[in-house]
Amino acid sequence: MRSVPRVLLPLVLCLACLPAAAQAPVERVREGNRISEGVPEIPPELRAKLERYQNTRGAEVAGWTREGCLLVGTRFAETVQTHRVCQPMGMREQLTFYREPVTGVAAAPAASGRDGFVYAKDVGGNEFSQLHWFDLASRQTTLLTDGRRTQNTGARFSRDGRWLAYASTSRNGTDTDVWVRDMQAGTARAVVAPGGSWRALDFAPDGKSLLVMRNVSVNDTRPGTVDLATGTLTLFPVDGGTAAITHMRHAPGGGVLYVSDEPVGGVAQEFRTLRHHVPGRPVRVITGDVDWDVEALEVSDDGRHIAFVVNEDGIARLDVRRWPSLERVALPALPIGQVGGLAFSPDGGRLAVTVNGATSPADAYVVDLGARTLDRWTRSEVGGLDASRFIAPTLVRFPTFDKVDGVPRTIPAFYYRPANARAGARVPVVISIHGGPEAQAFPIFNPTFQFLANELGIAVLVPNVRGSTGYGRTFVNLDNAKLREDAVRDIGALLDWIGTREELDAARVGVVGGSYGGYMVLASLVHYSERIRAGINVVGISHFGTFLRNTEGYRRDLRRVEYGDERDPAIAALFERISPLNNAARIRSPLFVAHGVNDPRVPYTEAEQIVRAVRGNGTPVWLLMFDDEGHGFRKKANADHFGAASVLFWQQHLLGAAP
């Protein structure tokens, strides 16, 4: 067992004072990379029942090669690797073979003369990703970054492929600077290093400057441009002082296309709209008639088209416009779901996208813009299951505790209702809470939700509580700092709503969530243990103070903006009051805690300390950790074991008789 960090010593001493009856030892079992406490053996029949659901997979677009093949990320063994597909429904040729997942793929531009791609890979989920070049001709790889305990992400090529920009913590391990590598000379240098968290967005067409962005918070991003010859950084003025500015691309013919929620004509904006700005001219708002966020942006190399995605209440709508007329291109109907991975073909005539629907895994599709046709390039497996039985959720809204203009505020949630529920019977419920908190739950394919609904007869509710993105600037700020527990009150309102539904069993409700969603699980159990039968906390925060002190340095300031600065006595006092660790005596429902030992975001110590504290109540607690995982479980064997243990936990503590 690892040594106890100094910050946990007072907690350990305090727990030592608990009554002997509450200190019944739980055996720690190590099997290879897996550590468990209190987790029963998984019955073979349960593993067999889960096997097909755990053998679904998806495929996501990663870019085009110069000869017109698609690069996709998909898993055929333990982890997601890069594959090449050269025609609709063609063979997926695996290119990378690692025990660790491959992410952040950036294909070399067709005009560069280079034939290959850059990818990122870490070790054991520690997120200290290193960038590598994969040469398609020789099938050789080259390490591009320092290979040390540094994070290197967000690779972007210049138009001619000479330069590669990326974000790196290599200077001091805390700040994320923008670096540029000369792909011919093999040298790299920091071009933006004033401190803070920066990323590269887009090279100018002539390769002499680079659009960059500093991330301060979800509502405060600061764009600029850096002259690569002189190193001069020029920040762009931001209307209103601060704004959520996200995607930025150089516009064909001049100026910049970008997504922002800055005021328009002095009027504050709730949503992020697509805009075009040319110096010396008024900003042109392209999507001013849409009251939803623009989530993605891409520009074709030939400058004839732009593509973007609008997030309409959790459903994606793809929009393609001719440039510069902004005439909308008529598109063939895409499957309903999330749309991402936008990538124009080298000749600009086709657009590849990833579509992930509620009843089908992510797959690669290609739109021919001239012919207005849609081709499916991959068809991912669903474990031999009958896909027609998969359940599509409905979008519901439930009233919560506060009001807007005198009317109760409503919270959106996706509702997966078992199709085979007996007439008149009340079905148990699992509430799944997303992480972030600046994130949003979408109705994408989730085999776990399908298993719960189809095989166990459990309804699943996936709310977007206050603090979620996608519903406007006001909504995302409703849980900041001292308002943190208002999001927990939204879960209380959802429990009230469940009680009004004739088909749902309010006496059998479980909660599950990861990361910030794990905190929400623990906090919900603190406040509503008498109404929640059991909870599963995955890589969750149990005390904001210890979390902020122990998270990796390059993340700390970003998280302080959202949660509050633990160095401020008033905020420290708030953390002491609301953190689940200090209220563990109120958690009386069975708890399952799972974590990756290499987690750089939420250290595994957050799991161990809440497990010890809740066991002090005599409450059943399961603990599962993996030595080769970080913030979540990316290896199939680990994810499968956790999934089976979770189902067993629900069978014993949600579906079983009430204690």
Q: 500 lies in a domain?
A: yes
Q: 380 lies in a domain?
A: no
* Structure token pair of residue 602: 């939420």
Whether 22 has a pLDDT exceeding 50, the answer reads no
Q: 44 lies in a domain?
A: yes
Q: 5 lies in a domain?
A: no
Whether 46 has a pLDDT exceeding 50, the answer reads yes
**What average pLDDT does range 268-292 have in this prediction?**
95
b/e sequence 284-311, b meaning 16+ C-beta within 10 Å: ebbbeebebbbbbbbbbbeeebbbbbbb
**pLDDT at position 24:** 62
Whether 358 has a pLDDT exceeding 50, the answer reads yes
**pLDDT at position 25:** 83
> Does residue 437 have a cis peptide bond before it, meaning omega lies within 30 degrees of 0?
yes
**What pLDDT, in 10s, does the model give residues 195-218?**
999 999 999 999 999 999 999 988
Q: How many CB atoms are closer than 10 A to CB 98?
A: 16
The strand pair at 534-538 and 591-596 is best described as: parallel
Which of 11-20, 50-59, 312-321, 474-483 shows the lowest per-residue confidence on average (mean pLDDT)? 11-20
Which helix H or strand E contains 448, and what residues bound it? helix 447-455
Per the listing, tokens 């990326």 go with 166
What CA–CA distance (Å, rounded) separates 81 from 60? 11
Q: 609 lies in a domain?
A: yes
Q: Hey, what long-range contacts does 552-558 have (CB within 8 A, 24 or more apart)?
A: 552/127, 552/600, 552/601, 553/173, 553/174, 554/151, 554/169, 554/173, 554/174, 554/175, 554/176, 554/197, 555/600, 555/601, 556/174, 557/196, 557/197, 558/197, 558/215, 558/216, 558/217
Whether 62 has a pLDDT exceeding 80, the answer reads yes
Q: 368 lies in a domain?
A: no
**pLDDT at position 216:** 93
The model carries a pTM of 0.93
**pLDDT at position 14:** 39
Looking at this protein, which amino acid is placed at residue 653? H
Q: 116 lies in a domain?
A: no
**What average pLDDT does range 163-184 have in this prediction?**
97
Whether 224 has a pLDDT exceeding 80, the answer reads yes
Q: 471 lies in a domain?
A: yes
**pLDDT at position 15:** 35
* pLDDT band at 2; cut points 50, 70, 90: very low
Domain extent, residue 405, equals 26-53+392-653
**pLDDT at position 334:** 93
What CA–CA distance (Å, rounded) separates 237 from 235? 7
Domains in the chain: how many in total?
A: 1
**pLDDT at position 497:** 98
Whether 1 has a pLDDT exceeding 90, the answer reads no
Closest CA to 335 of 363, 299, 311, 293: 363
SS3 call for 576: helix
CATH code: domain of residue 575: 3.40.50.1820
What CA–CA distance (Å, rounded) separates 550 from 5? 9
**pLDDT at position 259:** 98
